[in-house]
Amino acid sequence: MMTADAVREAVGVETIGIGLGGVELARTWFESICSLYAEVFSVPPFAWDEQEPVRHRQMLERLLTEPSFGITVAVRDDELVGFAYGYGVHPDTKRWENFLEPLPEALTTEWEGRTFALIDLAVRADLRGHGLGRRLLEVLLASRSEERAALTVEPEAEATQAFYQHLSWQRMGRKRTSPGSAISYFDAYVLPLRAQTRP
Ligand SMILES: CC(C)(COP(=O)(O)OP(=O)(O)OC[C@H]1O[C@@H](n2cnc3c(N)ncnc32)[C@H](O)[C@@H]1OP(=O)(O)O)[C@@H](O)C(=O)NCCC(=O)NCCS
């Protein structure tokens, strides 16, 4: 039986670099991010329809106008094999609305700099299970100044939810999505990053 190090070597994980940056880094990898996004999220358990590549591309373009945008990329031999990105939530966000069970105000009140929203995270299927998802997240979150991170995930994505729970993210509840979305519900998670920052 191979040791863990031997497995990592065989898969080539030790040659993968993690890059941290902002809009410029995302622009460099924009097309690769869109391709990997489609490769990863067009298969079950994720909901997918033919409009999703266009929706994703437009969403990413909008995100790149956010001054607080941040991204990590995993790269091997000039090829993108993973990414994680998000931005700082605005105080007038609607992300805490439409929950099936109302959430406490202490959780839903936002202010500038309170919450980092993790929008997307993906690792190429053949390279999963070797610590890349954890590294992409850890490097990205360590670069942030917000008090907490938040994300939403499809209820059907049970393995993804188990991954986040393993990394200490706390499930806050389930919300209805906006009309027109390919998905009906999202489960919301929060991860405390540091002591409360309320001004
Ligand atoms: C979710 C995803 C990014 C995880 O990446 P990964 O590289 O496979 O995960 P890692 O190898 O870094 O795992 C980190 C830790 O989580 C644990 N873990 C991974 N999957 C798990 C699961 N399904 N249940 C419980 N723990 C899990 C690992 O055992 C590891 O634990 P350790 O660091 O304490 O030893 C990857 O599976 C993926 O791209 N999935 C499809 C897309 C997706 O779900 N994206 C998130 C959408 S919001």
Please compute the mean of the pLDDT values over residues 146-154 and round it to a whole number.
Answer: 97
In contact, 25 and 73? CB cutoff 8 Å: yes
**Residue nearest ligand 1's atom 19 by CA:** 163
Query: Topology of 2-192 in CATH?
Result: Aminopeptidase (3.40.630)
Please compute the mean of the pLDDT values over residues 20-32 and round it to a whole number.
Answer: 98
Q: What pTM, to 2 d.p., does this model score?
A: 0.95
CA distances from 71 to 22, 57, 62, 113, 171 (A): 6, 16, 14, 17, 23
pLDDT tens for each residue of 110-149: 999 999 999 999 999 999 999 999 999 999 999 999 999 9
Task: Name the packing angle between helices 30-41 and 52-63 (round to 10°).
Answer: 140
Confidence of residue 180 (pLDDT cuts 50, 70, 90): confident
**Residue nearest ligand 1's atom 12 by CA:** 131
**Residue nearest ligand 1's atom 46 by CA:** 121
- Of 8, 163, 171, the one to substitute when testing ligand 1's pocket (max ligand atoms within 8 A of C-beta) is 163
82 lines ligand 1 (CB under 6 A): no
CA distance 28 to 31: 8
- pLDDT of 8 reads 59
- pLDDT of 11 reads 64
Say if residue 193's pLDDT is above 80.
yes
Domain segments of the chain as ranges: 2-192
- pLDDT of 181 reads 77
118 lines ligand 1 (CB under 6 A): no
Summary mean pLDDT of the chain? 93
Q: How far is the CA of 128 from the centre of ligand 1 (A)?
A: 7
